[in-house]
Amino acid sequence: MDKPSVVICTNCQKENPAVDSAVKSNAKNIRFNHGICQRHALETLSKSGIPQDKIQSFINRMGSSGAPDLKEHPELVKSYSKGLFTPQQIQQSNQDQQNKNNKITERFQVLAGIHKFYD
């Protein structure tokens, strides 16, 4: 069985301890391709003394193929921190939460003496 693959910025991972912990604990089930987001690429290249035009050329070639910047995607930080890295995991988590909510609603209805009527 092939493991799902997720691209993540190494620097963003290090900046978010909860994400870092979740990545490490899920490494057996998910193939993490560590890359770098545009923000961290720009920071790193700027510190290295490379001329700005060459940095910009590199960033332009990089386009959207780099790792997502977790600073720009707080929703990814939230799901990654919970160990939810793939769309399937997120969907299953949402379904599980909906099932829990339905059970709680049904329990309150029983406690309140509210009965369901079906057609």
pLDDT digits (tens, 9 = 90+) for 58-107: 888 877 677 999 999 999 999 999 999 998 998 999 999 999 999 998 88
* Predicted TM-score (pTM) of this structure: 0.74
Q: Where in the chain does DSSP place strands (E)? A: 5-9, 31-35
Q: Where are the domains of the chain?
A: 5-85, 86-119
For 18, list phi and psi in degrees, rounded to 5: -65, -40
How far apart are the C-alpha atoms of 49 and 53, rounded to whole Å?
Answer: 11
Query: pLDDT digit string (tens) for 16-68?
Result: 999 999 999 999 999 999 999 999 998 998 898 888 888 888 888 877 677 99
Whole-number CA gyration radius for the chain:
21
What's the pLDDT at 119? Answer: 46
How far apart are the C-alpha atoms of 78 and 91, rounded to whole Å?
Answer: 14
What's the pLDDT at 115? Answer: 64
* Residue 117 three-state SS: coil
User: Which residues on neighbouring strands pair with residue 32, listed in sequence order?
Assistant: 6
